[in-house]
Amino acid sequence: MSARGTRPPVTPRHPERGERSLLFVHAHPDDETVGTGATLAHYAARPDVHLTVVTCTLGEEGEVRVPALEGLAAAEADQLGGYRYWEYRQATAALGVADTHFLGGVGRWRDSGMMGTPANDHPRAFWGADLDEAAADLVAVLRDRAPRVLVTYDPDGFYGHPDHIQAHRVAMRACDLAADPDWRPDLGPAHEVRKIYWTTMPRSIIEAQFDAFASAPDNPFAGVASAADLPFGVPDDQIDAAITADDAATARKRAAMAAYATQIAPGDWLDMLGDKLGADALAAEHYRLVRGERGPVDDRGWETDLLA
Ligand SMILES: CC(=O)N[C@H]1[C@@H](O[C@@H]2[C@H](O)[C@H](O)[C@@H](O)[C@H](O)[C@H]2O)O[C@H](CO)[C@@H](O)[C@@H]1O
Ligand SMILES: [Zn+2]
């Protein structure tokens, strides 16, 4: 049970149960936009598709890239989580996503900070969550929304952040438990997610970014000898699906990114991504299919519809 002793009910805002729904599990406010914003905006434009975003923490331990707001930081007034919640509302609205849910209720699990930092040991740190307790919160949502597709991170959380790793573990555990009719029938009728994708990035795109940012003041790859040394990305032939958003959806992703002023400041590499590498750097998002049948593929051998 959660620290408050009761599990906040899953608000059946959209008790959609059907073949045209996708559910995304993310760690912090901004991951849904930075990592899958083009995909969310792409599908949000389709009235027949239902989207749910589940976010596991409020991002309390994040940086504050707005000088005037530095007092919100965890080490100061510790109000960043509430502020990022507000940014998240603006960003998900910009993407066109109405069905959003914080795992276990808003504020249940706390941002664990970077691996090895003292925040990992906070009593509510997501990194220290009991796996089945956190998974039970997600099972309740899965059984209510009954998505055909679930999207989350790979076992390394894409880049090794503890909350991303834990989001992966909780999502995969919840998919298994949700499908078991004998496990916690009080959390709703069993539901089997048909397809599971992990976010990823083709090494060819990382190499292009690596070169483009070599001279950037906040080069995200500073100190790294080659793209192959980075803790994320896969060879292009390990990509299973790519969603390339149209201009309208890409613009919605840009607007959502702009909502996260505390995380993405003007001139930051993330802010410059589109300018340096072209709109495709924001428009294209890539996935590995780890459960379910592959749908039709294009000439790259990649699916172009996660619902196929
Ligand atoms: C994209 C993402 O997951 N961001 C996390 C991450 O943020 C990093 C952190 O602030 C680090 O100290 C910085 O050097 C780095 O540039 C940031 O990307 O970790 C934060 C703390 O857990 C988290 O709030 C943020 O959402
Ligand atoms: Zn994150």
Query: Tens digit of pLDDT for each residue in 117-162?
Result: 999 999 999 999 999 999 999 999 999 999 999 999 999 999 999 9
Q: How confident is the model at residue 16 (pLDDT cuts 50, 70, 90)?
A: very low
202 in contact with ligand 1, CB cutoff 6 A: no
What average pLDDT does the segment 48-62 reach? Answer: 97
For position 288, what pLDDT does the model report? 98
Pocket test for ligand 1, best of 156, 161, 168, 270 (most atoms within 8 A of CB): 161
For position 9, what pLDDT does the model report? 53
Q: How confident is the model at residue 278 (pLDDT cuts 50, 70, 90)?
A: confident
CATH architecture of 18-202+235-269+282-291: 3-Layer(aba) Sandwich (3.40)
Residue whose structure tokens are 């072209």: 278
Residue 164 annotated as binding site: yes
Indicate whether 113 pLDDT > 70.
yes
308 in contact with ligand 1, CB cutoff 6 A: no
CA of 40 to the centre of ligand 2 (A): 16
Helix (H) / strand (E) element for 291: namely strand 284-291
- Taking the C-alpha atoms of residue 282 and residue 27, their distance in angstroms, rounded to an integer, is 20
Domain ranges of the chain: 18-202+235-269+282-291
Residue 134: closest CA among 163, 154, 114: 163
Ligand nearest to the CA of 260: 1
* Total residues belonging to the chain: 308
What average pLDDT does the segment 258-262 reach? Answer: 97
Residue 31 annotated as binding site: yes
Indicate whether 23 pLDDT > 80.
yes
247 within 8 A of 255, measured Cβ to Cβ: no
- Taking the C-alpha atoms of residue 262 and residue 39, their distance in angstroms, rounded to an integer, is 23
Q: pLDDT per residue over 169-220, tens digit each?
A: 999 999 999 999 999 999 999 999 999 999 999 998 888 888 888 777 777 7
- The verdict on ipTM greater than 0.95 is yes
Average pLDDT, the chain: 92
Which alpha helices (H) appear in the chain, and where do they start and end?
31-44, 80-95, 131-145, 162-178, 203-212, 247-258, 269-277, 280-283
Task: Decide: residue 181, CB within 10 A, 0-12 exposed, 13-18 middle, 19+ buried.
Answer: exposed
Q: How confident is the model at residue 29 (pLDDT cuts 50, 70, 90)?
A: very high
27 within 8 A of 158, measured Cβ to Cβ: no
What average pLDDT does the segment 228-240 reach? Answer: 90
Pocket test for ligand 1, best of 63, 79, 163, 218 (most atoms within 8 A of CB): 63
CA of 61 to the centre of ligand 2 (A): 11
Instruction: Return the sign of the alpha-carbon dihedral for residues 217, 264, 114, 225.
Output: negative
For position 150, what pLDDT does the model report? 98
Ligand nearest to the CA of 269: 1
